Amino acid sequence: MPKHRVILRDDDTCATTPVPYLEQLYRPFLDRGLPVNLAVIPEVATGTHTPDGQLEGFLRNGRELPAGAEAIAVGEHSELIDYLRSEALYHIAHHGHRHDYFEFADGSRSGLGEKLAAGSERLAAAGLGRPRTFVAPYDQYCPDALREIADRFDTFSTGWFDRRRIPSSWLPGYIAKKIARRPHWRAGGLRLLSHPGCLLSYNKDRETMLAEVQREVRSNGLTVLVTHWWEYFDGGAPDRPFIAQLHKVARWLAEDPDVEVIAFDDLRD
């Protein structure tokens, strides 16, 4: 019985994502029978910028979109949809609505629920089903957002939990989690998973990347590994040393008998 479970989560698949990018990154995982969880943006906003004024990476490093469109639904990228549906080991998570800054960090509960419902309809219309895992853009959420997420999803995956953004009725569970130093917990009928930061990132040292991943996985019963497809093609060209490190991780995950790679949907209490 494997001692350590791993969920690989790649964020920001959307109408800008080139199919060859995903294929280059994840074929070594798929060929080894390892599931890959893609957090998909239902209707990506085309004008989201980072604080330094650059277009977001998934816009800057993705395929060109039609001019003048404020947002593009993922279903309009038919090549991507056909590709995702052809690979049973790709699992879909629901990643925000348009991936605007702070879109789930505030607002009325009804308005937040409308965004979740609209995103769910976009994914279902594209043939990607109705995912049971939600990922908030930029790890931003508010108490009412969590209540709405709990009404619609089984799992919420984020970087960390802030007691100021958690419903007051969930605080006993949060405090117990903190005391026990657990990365994951449950509240409001929702499975709440945190991750150890983006260990697979272009900001990390490539020479120590695999060792960092191994250390984290071996320290926990369940680890969520987060990465972003567009970081491997920053500037539009493949970052081959970085991609090579990702593929080393795939080989280790497949070969270590103490590790099992699963999808969010495989989680059981």
pLDDT of residue 220: 97
| Short-list 92, 153, 167, CA closest to 117 | 153
Count Cβ atoms within 10 A of the Cβ of residue 169 and give its class: 0-12 exposed, 13-18 middle, 19 or more buried. exposed
Q: 116 and 149 in contact (C-beta within 8 Å)?
A: yes
| Short-list 77, 85, 119, 117, CA closest to 100 | 119
- The domain segmentation of the chain, as residue ranges, is 4-266
pLDDT of residue 1: 67
Q: Is 210 helix (H, G, I), strand (E, B) or coil?
A: helix
How far apart CA 33 and CA 46 sit, in angstroms, is 34
CATH architecture observed for domain 4-266: Alpha-Beta Barrel (3.20)
How far apart CA 74 and CA 233 sit, in angstroms, is 20
pLDDT of residue 115: 97
pLDDT of residue 64: 86
pLDDT in tens for each of the 269 residues of the chain? Answer: 679 999 999 999 999 999 999 999 999 999 999 999 999 999 999 999 887 888 999 999 999 888 888 999 999 999 999 999 999 999 999 999 999 988 999 999 999 999 999 999 999 999 999 999 999 999 999 999 999 999 999 999 999 999 999 999 999 999 999 999 999 999 999 999 999 999 999 999 999 999 999 999 999 999 999 999 999 999 889 999 999 999 999 999 999 999 999 999 999 76
| Short-list 147, 152, 158, CA closest to 187 | 147
How far apart CA 224 and CA 194 sit, in angstroms, is 7
Q: 4 and 258 in contact (C-beta within 8 Å)?
A: yes
pLDDT of residue 269: 62
How far apart CA 58 and CA 62 sit, in angstroms, is 6
| Short-list 81, 83, 88, CA closest to 35 | 88
- Dihedral of CA atoms 177, 182, 188, 189 in degrees, nearest 10, equals -150
Residue type, 179: I
pLDDT of residue 258: 97
How far apart CA 41 and CA 33 sit, in angstroms, is 25
pLDDT of residue 66: 80
